[in-house]
Amino acid sequence: MAAEKVKTRAIIWFRRDLRISDHPALLAAIEAADEIVPLFIMDEKIASNSGSNRRAYLSASLQSLDRSLGEKLLVISGEPISVLKDVMSRYGANSVHVSADYTPYGVARDAKVIASGIELTQTGSPYAVAPGRVRKSDETPYRVYTPFYRAWCTHGWRAPAAKPLNIKAAEPLAGDRNFPEWNSEFEISAGEKVALERWQEFHSKNLDSYDENRNFAGIDGTSRLSAHLRWGEIHPRTLLAKLGESKAHDVFRKEIAWREFYADVLHHNPHTTWDYYVPRFKEMRYDEPDSKFNAWCEGKTGYPYVDAAMRQLVQTGWMHNRTRMVVASFLVKDLHLEWQHGARFFSQHLIDFDVASNSHGWQWTAGCGTDASPYYRVFNPIEQGKRFDAEGDYIRKYVPELSHLSAAEIHEPWLYLDGYSNGYVERVVDHAAERIESLARLAEIKADKPQDPRA
């Protein structure tokens, strides 16, 4: 009798790619062996630095991926090299497949894995165009978004990869399916199925008005796909493939490109995870975090639009992009704190936390990053609320102490006798005065830079 053929096996190590559609690394693993060994390695250090909402989101996303894989996903906590060597040995796997990771942490982690003797077959990435590929004619990286966007579009991207028709996965061994039991106080909607459904709904109902409605925090005018993109439950190629040439579609395409631009900037400047892109801003006078910083974290600054946004973040793990800019400006330019304090708070609470977008989004608003957002651009938290939450519905949802006020009153409750009757807090600073102070501190390090009289 002929001996039974030994099945070949390949590990597919899931990281920021928790899906099975449009997944080149998964297809490569399937092609390389008779069976795949789907694996997620839980990094306890990263998990401990994440807030409860993001941990709960990851837990739900892993459960969704597991169902897509016929409940054969391995979830093992530990140091990647040790886990990979152990799984390769016990499952008889002779290759490890991954999507390339371009974050500074991911690059360092993968370099250690490769140095240990484990070969990583890297296929695809979390981006339509991998960081480092779009360059100027002199082969240097772009420092400004708009020319990057034009070059990024010219470079182009592949069509979405096919969804595998049949996934043959190895039967998990005892003790290898250690799914975390993390829960949240609010309802979590995670996973590839949810992402695809959300994209379909947004594409059919809201995409054509995206350019007009994306800035209004109180309505459902954005795609709400940021968390799905961050965890790789949907690939940006899948979105780009369905976009046309209208203004609304182009504005949405530009938002995807911002994500890729910041990934490219961080790829070329890994120190900017927590350090300044423009070094001279280290020299500016900053205050130390105190009770006013705590008030910002808790959504108790006395500025309704700022407080609504901060409470939305803490309660739901997400914040509207317009208000992210407003609260960031308030922290840096009204409270005179370094941007890293706010960026770290975001990193703890955002379910869509992406290190490149977070660090460089904060630096853009703080005026010390890429592109043309100068430091002397100071967001007015009152006028921003009046413009982008005119009726006050967003504020009423998250700041119920002000729900009794009219649209005309809610943005400046201190002007009305009934403004504080339900216990809303008084302002921690005077915006007009702090704006002047902020510009004065800028002048100390940048005396040769004329100030914008329109600011």
CA distance linking residue 144 with residue 160, whole number of Å = 28
Euclidean distance between CA atoms 119 and 111, whole angstroms: 10
Please compute the mean of the pLDDT values over residues 106-133 and round it to a whole number: 97
Q: Are residues 284 and 432 in the same domain?
A: yes
Residues 238 and 355 in one domain: no
Same domain, 221 and 358: no
Structure confidence at residue 188 (pLDDT): 82
Give, in order, the Cα–Cα distances in Å from 358 to each of 93, 262, 306, 392. Answer: 37, 9, 18, 27
Mean pLDDT score, 83-112: 97
Q: Which of 230, 202, 203 is nearest to 318 (CA)?
A: 230
Report whether 266 contacts 359 (CB < 8 A).
Answer: yes
The verdict on residue 450 lying in a domain is no
Q: Which residues contact 57 (CB under 8 A, 6 or more apart)?
A: 184, 188, 190, 227, 231, 317, 351
Report whether pLDDT(256) > 90.
yes
pLDDT over threshold 70, residue 214: yes
Q: Judge if 62 and 206 occupy the same domain.
A: no
Residue 31 is part of a domain; what is its CATH number? 3.40.50.620
Whether residue 425 sits in one domain with residue 295: yes
Position 439 scores a pLDDT of: 93
Cβ contacts of 70 within 8 Å, gap of 6 or more:
167, 169
- Are 69 and 39 contained in the same domain? yes
Note whether 244 and 294 are same-domain residues: no
For the cut 80, the answer to whether the pLDDT of residue 450 exceeds it is no
Distances (CA, A) of 271 to 104, 234, 327, 355, 375: 8, 28, 24, 12, 21
Residue 284 lies in a domain: yes
Three-state secondary-structure class, residue 303: coil
Q: Give the Cα separation of 76 and 87 in Å (integer).
A: 10
Domain shared by 370 and 428, yes or no: yes
Q: Would you state the structure tokens that stand for residue 154, as one six-digit string?
A: 């010219």
pLDDT band at 77; cut points 50, 70, 90: very high
pLDDT of residue 66: 97
pLDDT digits 0-9 by tens, 361-418: 999 999 999 876 677 789 999 999 999 999 999 999 999 999 999 999 999 999 999 9
Residue at a domain's end among 125, 148, 181: 125
Looking at residue 1, its pLDDT comes to 46
Q: What is the pLDDT of residue 217?
A: 84
Statement to judge: residues 327 and 432 lie in one domain: yes
- Cα–Cα distance for residue pair 248/338, rounded to 1 Å: 35
Kindly indicate the confidence band of residue 45, based on its pLDDT and cuts at 50, 70 and 90: confident
Whether residue 100 is found in the same domain as residue 241: no
Rounded Cα distance, 322 and 388, in Å: 8
The pLDDT of 320-338, averaged and rounded, is 96
* Residue 181 maps to a domain: no
Laid out side by side, the sheet with 35-42 consists of 74-77, 35-42, 9-14, 93-98, 120-122
CATH code of the domain in which 200 resides: 1.25.40.80
Q: Which domain holds residue 308?
A: 273-445
> Tell me, what CATH number does 284's domain have?
1.10.579.10
- Domain count for the chain, please give it: 3
Same domain for 264 and 287? no
Q: In the listed set 236, 268, 300, which residue is the last one of a domain according to the structure?
A: 268
Average pLDDT, the chain: 93
| Averaged pLDDT, 285-293 | 97
Backbone angle region of 92, left / alpha / beta, with phi > 0 → left and psi within -120 to 50 → alpha = left
Q: Specify the range with the lowest mean pLDDT, choosing from 86-90, 186-190, 328-332.
A: 186-190
Give me the torsion for CA of 141, 145, 147, 150, rounded to 10°.
Answer: 110
Phi, psi of 122 (to 5 degrees): -100, 120
- Are residues 140 and 241 both part of a single domain? yes
